């Protein structure tokens, strides 16, 4: 296993290159993912596609799915394989495009591109090999008919940039077929100094919905998931299987079409700022309780402050006491319920207990016997409950990832 020392893009790149140099040069080594012909069988590649592949190339196959289920590559196409590795998918694509087509196999890792050049490029006249990063494709705009990629995007630090690059080099109407690892639960803990996590394909992976949204943001349309696979179920490492299960990591095979134009900045901004996306993200990160508490505080102290400021400016407005108290009560109740849902993650009743005390004090102050101090203490309990809930959620996550130190939380 190769060490990754941090999350700077440079360090990620080095760790990824170390890992995939090992897959290229020592494919019989011990990896946490299936490699070679065993991986072809498990991922459902047809013997027709793989039997003719040179043995040395097939040995270093490290795909996470079979992007060809999306059937985006057509005879005569100019195809780009992003993160081609030893080039197995590139050679399969080369057979599909035929003599009239061309395949560009692009990978970050020199050992991979070297291996492909040594073992295959001479037999496949329509394959060109390039060592470059997916984040900066050395190709002209709209020069590619279809893109295939298998297991690379989850390893790329700036995924939006890589997706924008794919959009740029594809011609309008060009097709993307992608197999990649995605997760259901984002990783929130700080694991900057842990050696394993990025190259284990979970920490770097994107939440499935977010990957689809990023493709849409860049200007891809007709985005369809063709197949989902429990990829990590076949990992030889029990720890990897457990981490993957904890974060709902799996692989997807999808297809998408490049639209004629990338969305304009306003369209992009509206897409990215859509309340549904924000809510989904807050929910996944366990921040909905905090958000509801913020709304309760704003409706309580914010509205009082606004009334006072407007009065000072001579624009006196009156606040309906019933509406004011009702709004605060609704958000306080919501915050308590959302904080209590953290129990499903960390199995501790502490945050729910604290939040219930806080809610009772706020409701008492609002509806039974108003007192600023009691109300304030109620909010302090609620804030403590929200903070404790977040801490416990992160501690549970760190435990799942095998991170023991408090520094990760």
The contact set with ligand SAM (CB under 6 A) reads 16, 20, 61-63, 83-85, 88-89, 107-109, 112, 133-135, 150-152, 155-156
Q: How far apart are CA 63 and CA 150, in angstroms?
A: 5
Burial annotation 193-223 (CB, 10 A radius, 16+ → b, else e): ebebbbbbbbbbbbbbebbbbbbbbbbbeeb
**Position of minimal CB gap to ligand SAM:** 85
Residue with tokens 């939040």: 355
Task: Spell out the alpha helix ranges (H) of 44-192.
Answer: 47-50, 55-59, 88-97, 110-116, 159-169
Q: Which is nearer to ligand SAM, 232 or 287 (CB)?
A: 232
Q: Shortest approach of ligand SAM to residue 99 CB, angstroms?
A: 24
Q: Shortest approach of ligand SAM to residue 397 CB, angstroms?
A: 24
Q: How far apart are CA 385 and CA 383, in angstroms?
A: 5
246's tokens? 């904890």
Q: Which is nearer to ligand SAM, 114 or 345 (CB)?
A: 114
CA atoms within 13 A on the CB side of 356: 7
Whether 128 and 103 have beta carbons less than 8 Å apart is answered as: yes
Q: How far apart are CA 361 and CA 385, in angstroms?
A: 14
Q: Which is nearer to ligand SAM, 67 or 342 (CB)?
A: 67
Q: Which is nearer to ligand SAM, 10 or 405 (CB)?
A: 10
Q: Shortest approach of ligand SAM to residue 107 CB, angstroms?
A: 5
Q: Which is nearer to ligand SAM, 231 or 379 (CB)?
A: 231
Q: Which is nearer to ligand SAM, 89 or 389 (CB)?
A: 89
Q: Shortest approach of ligand SAM to residue 216 CB, angstroms?
A: 22
Q: How far apart are CA 171 and CA 169, in angstroms?
A: 6
């Amino acid at each position: 296993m190769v060490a990754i020392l941090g999350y700077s893009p440079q360090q990620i790149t080095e760790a990824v290159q170390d890992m995939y140099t090992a897959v290229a040069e020592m494919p019989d080594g011990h990896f946490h993912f299936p490699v070679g012909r065993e991986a072809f069988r498990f991922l459902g590649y047809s013997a027709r596609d793989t039997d003719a592949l040179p043995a040395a190339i097939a040995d270093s196959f490290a795909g996470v799915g079979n992007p060809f289920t999306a059937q985006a590559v057509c005879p005569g196409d100019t195809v780009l394989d992003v993160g081609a590795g030893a080039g197995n998918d590139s050679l399969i694509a080369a057979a599909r495009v035929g003599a009239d087509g061309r395949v560009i196999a692009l990978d970050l890792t020199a050992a991979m591109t070297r291996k492909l050049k040594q073992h295959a490029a001479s037999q496949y006249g329509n394959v060109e090999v390039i060592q470059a990063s997916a984040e900066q494709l050395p190709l002209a705009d709209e020069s590619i008919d279809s893109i295939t990629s298998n297991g690379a995007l989850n390893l790329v630090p700036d995924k939006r940039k890589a997706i924008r690059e794919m959009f740029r080099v594809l011609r309008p109407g060009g097709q993307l077929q992608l197999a990649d690892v995605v997760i259901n639960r984002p990783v929130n803990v700080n694991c900057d100094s842990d050696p394993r996590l990025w190259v284990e394909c979970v920490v770097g992976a994107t939440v499935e919905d977010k990957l689809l949204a990023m493709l849409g943001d860049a200007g891809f349309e007709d985005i369809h998931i063709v197949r989902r696979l429990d990829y990590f179920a076949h990992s030889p490492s029990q720890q990897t299987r457990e981490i993957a299960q904890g974060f709902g990591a799996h692989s997807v095979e999808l297809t998408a079409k490049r639209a004629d134009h990338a969305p304009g900045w306003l369209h992009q901004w509206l897409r990215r700022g859509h309340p549904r996306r924000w809510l989904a993200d807050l929910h996944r990160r366990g921040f909905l309780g905090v958000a509801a508490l913020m709304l309760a505080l704003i409706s309580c102290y914010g509205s009082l402050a606004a009334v006072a400021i407007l009065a000072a400016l001579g624009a006196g407005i009156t606040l309906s006491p019933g509406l004011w108290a009702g709004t605060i009560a609704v958000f306080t109740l919501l915050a308590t319920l959302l904080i209590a849902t953290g129990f499903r993650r960390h199995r501790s009743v502490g945050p729910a207990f604290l939040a219930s005390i806080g809610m009772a004090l706020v409701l008492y102050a609002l509806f039974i016997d108003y007192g600023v101090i009691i109300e304030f203490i109620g909010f302090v309990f609620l804030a403590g409950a929200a903070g404790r809930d977040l801490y416990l959620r992160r501690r549970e996550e760190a435990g799942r990832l095998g991170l023991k130190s408090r520094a990760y939380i």
